[in-house]
Structure 1
Amino acid sequence: MSRSGLSLGLDAGGSATKWALLRGGQVVADGVAPPLTAALLGTPAGEHNLAALVAALPGRPDALHAGMPGLSAGSGRALQVRAVLASAVGLGEPAVGVESDLDLAYRTHLGAGEGILLYAGTGSVAYHVTPAGAVVRAGGYGFKLGDDGGGSDIGRSALRQITATLDRGETPVGLLATEVGALTGGLDWDSLRAYTYADAGAAALARLAPAVGRAADAGDPEAHALLQGAARSLAELARRVQARTGPLPVTATGGAFRISSQFPALLGRELPGATVQYRDHAAAAARSAERLLDQG
């Protein structure tokens, strides 16, 4: 099959799934759908989110490639995810490719051996692929064990700031409290608990990160301090990988860096020489789907 067909790329994640449709190498449509992860697929929520994605597409793709959290290319789970995606969009499995979201992100920004990708989205990880294809990484263990400096960590830090104020018998006030309260429905413990634990996952915490960014950009010193701490944590992840690979350059990317105009500069102070770069991972995935078209 030629590249006149539609190729669909998915940059799936724990907070949202970005998609892009390409025809002849050009993006003809793109959008954002609900979260998709390897763990979520196969659950009722995953089925609902996948159906919402398919319903949002303006046309049926002829090939699909997805980068998704929780996958290793060629693993048994990757084969299962491939089958689920193929069934959802009405394709044969040879027309569907899947890989880790981190592998997709790395090759979107870097060639093998070129540097370290510091990714901060819902979670966080420092990731390097050697010329031989081996992976050297630090972090990326999920919000229960790590993800320091990522969106879920920033949101959790904001809640901890507010609950510490409650512990002192004080009422949370200021720009940070106002921004967070607008999302949680209140700053009392009942409201915070309902918001945080009704969805006991990283996405609820990560949804608070933009509130921290807005407060920091408006001059709130507490929010600024939270971003400083996040930048420090991300820099530490990159240095852990550099300790094993040597002083490779660091390219940072991910939605967390977009929450505040201050955040990239704060990372630069903690990790001199690091560059923040934004590229369309969904479009890169769609270009991989185009190669499946060429093979068809």
Structure 2
Amino acid sequence: MGATEGAWVLGVDGGASSTRAAVADLEGRVLARAAAGPSNHVRGEAGRLRLRKALEGAVGGALAHLVSEGAGSRLECLQAVTLGMTGVNPGTPEAGRVVEELLPLLPSRALEAGLRARIEVVSDARTALEGATEGEPGILVYAGTGSVAMGRNAGGAIARAGGWGYLVDDQGGGYTIGRHALRAVFRAADGRGPETRLTSLLLEHFQVEDLDELVRVVYTNDGLDRPAVARLARLVARAAQEGDEAALAIYRHAAGELAGLAAAVARRLEMAAPAVYHSGGVFAAGRPVLEPFERAVRTALAGSRVWPARNSPLVGALLMAYRQLGHPITPDLASRLRAQLDAPGSA
């Protein structure tokens, strides 16, 4: 069987909140999909165990679905795999660990037929860029739990800014927004900042009566973990939509930081007035973050326009897997994948 006849591809989007996998054929029909928990930070035994569980749930789950649907005899059709993983770059020891954990899950017949040579591990920013632009020149700013920007110019060169992790960077991401929400509440209590709706929202969220109880919750068991802090961004969105000044200020600061990532990529790639795309849960807050983001982008990159990403990182991973096979990426192909994987309610 040739690489372009009856082939299947597997895409994986592995992040700090969840891991999604999908198998599709060359016509863009999604044959199976599954989701599991986070697969970020693969260093150390705990990280490796988290990665293993995530891949077993997502990749193993998708392949098990194919078997349950009677397609077990066709698993050798799987001819290319692309994984976009948070905190992982090609050619690194972390990428090697991802492949080691993935191999036992893949069909032996497909591996014997040459699949191992077409397993590609890249950063989740790379698959997000592919999904956002469908391979065209442009810059993607992604703000989920963390934040990163990546772009490609007309010559095919790629550059990144941000994405250095929550301890040193990730400005404009959900974790930082959540931290700023907590800070705003305690500063308001001291009189160092304005009164804010965030106080009542956080007390309600954590089901506590006062700030003394809240601070105990925050620091119990060495403190709230990253996903728990990042989830507080939803409360900031709610307060901002109600006109709370402290919440709006948090989003103005985040928007400026995120626009700065786009400008840094544009400088590195020598791009004038690039198309700038945005993706990730932070932008789901809508106007409180989008309006200042668009203003900041136009100020930093005169002539640029801002758009939502065309597709999710999972669609981007599938598009990159198609490219490994030399299969042409058309708007219709991307549209079919998007309709199945990115529509509201998709797994």
1:43 to 28, 37, 48: 48
TM-score (norm 2): 0.71
Residue 276 (structure 1) aligns with? 307
Q: Does 1:59 align with 2:83?
A: no
- SS for the counterpart of 1:84 is helix
Partner Cα separation in structure 1 for residue 136 and residue 324 of structure 2: 25
- SS for the counterpart of 2:170 is coil
Residue 145 (structure 2) aligns with? 122
Structure-to-structure mapping, 1:22-37, within 5 angstroms: 22-23=24-25, 24-30=27-33, 32-37=35-40
Moved over 6 A (4+): none
- SS for the counterpart of 2:66 is coil
Cα distance per residue 1:31-56 (max 9 Å; x no partner)? 54311125268533333333332464
Partner Cα separation in structure 2 for residue 177 and residue 56 of structure 1: 41
Structure-to-structure mapping, 1:103-182, within 5 angstroms: 103-110=126-133, 114-130=137-153, 133-168=156-191, 175-182=197-204
Name whichever structure is richer in helix by fraction.
2
| Number of corresponding residues | 292
Residue 256 (structure 2) aligns with? 232
Partner Cα separation in structure 1 for residue 8 and residue 54 of structure 2: 22
- SS for the counterpart of 1:233 is helix
Partner Cα separation in structure 1 for residue 151 and residue 321 of structure 2: 24
Larger radius of gyration between Structure 1 and Structure 2: 2
Partner Cα separation in structure 1 for residue 34 and residue 186 of structure 2: 36
Q: Which protein has greater RCO, CA pairs closer than 8 Å, 6+ apart? A: 1
The worse-fitting range, judged by mean Cα deviation, of 156-165 and 43-52 is 43-52
Structure-to-structure mapping, 1:187-202, within 5 angstroms: 187=211, 188-194=214-220, 197-199=223-225, 202=226
Partner Cα separation in structure 2 for residue 196 and residue 9 of structure 1: 35
Identical positions, percent: 32
Partner Cα separation in structure 2 for residue 236 and residue 98 of structure 1: 27
Question: Which runs of 5 or more residues in structure 1 are unaligned?
Answer: none
2:20 to 6, 18, 28: 18
Cα distance per residue 1:196-219 (max 9 Å; x no partner)? 8242xx323222212211222233
Residue 208 (structure 1) aligns with? 232
TM-score (norm 1): 0.82
Cα distance per residue 1:159-212 (max 9 Å; x no partner)? 111222344599x9754233333443434210122388242xx32322221221
Residue 342 (structure 2) aligns with? none
Deviation at 1:59, TM superposition (A): 2.8
| 2:200 alignment partner AA | T
**CA-atom RMSD in angstroms:** 3.3
| 1:277 alignment partner AA | P
